[in-house]
Amino acid sequence: MSKRDRAARAKDAAGDAAAAAADELEVSDATDDSDGESPTSLTKSADTELRPSGKRSGRGRRSASAAGTADDDSDSAGGSSVAVKERTKKASPAESRNPFVRIWLFLQQVVAELRKVIWPSRRDLVVYTAVVLVFVVIMTAFIFGIDLGFAKGVLWLFG
């Protein structure tokens, strides 16, 4: 799905949510028209309130249902209509001062990481070992040859 398709889909979803919220406001304000405003002026003000400001909130996007169901006391107090779950701070084992707890946590994490390892089969292990030994023999012969060549060169030059 391209960015253009996603943008069009988001625009359609926002338009549907705004229309549904405007319809709810029209129905509720038409029955309770105590301040003398017409339902059309209320619909226009509702449309302007539901338009996005272009800025995203720090907690991510809100769903259309969360945008339409705001508490009256949170709006009057100037708060957000997004519910925030309060978290209790729980002391983690990593922050514990007990050295045995920290060692136990370390060992648990080591075992958890070892379970993620993909262990080679016996055949793979033999092949890998042979490749390493052949590489070491070749590199040793190469370095030995270079060392022997430099030794002969120095003896010939200063000899």
| 67-113 residue pLDDT tens | 445 444 544 555 556 666 777 666 666 677 888 999 999 999 999 99
Q: Is 70 exposed, middle or buried (0-12, 13-18, 19+ CB in 10 A)?
A: middle
Instruction: Using pLDDT thresholds of 50, 70 and 90, give the confidence band for residue 144.
Output: very high
pTM over 0.85? The answer is no
pLDDT of residue 109: 96
In tens, the pLDDT along 3-24 reads 778 777 878 877 777 677 666 6
The CA distance from 74 to 82, in Å, is: 9
Query: Nearest-CA neighbor of 84 among 65, 60, 68?
Result: 60
Q: How confident is the model at residue 143 (pLDDT cuts 50, 70, 90)?
A: very high
Pairs from 8-12 (Cβ < 8 Å, separation ≥ 24):
none
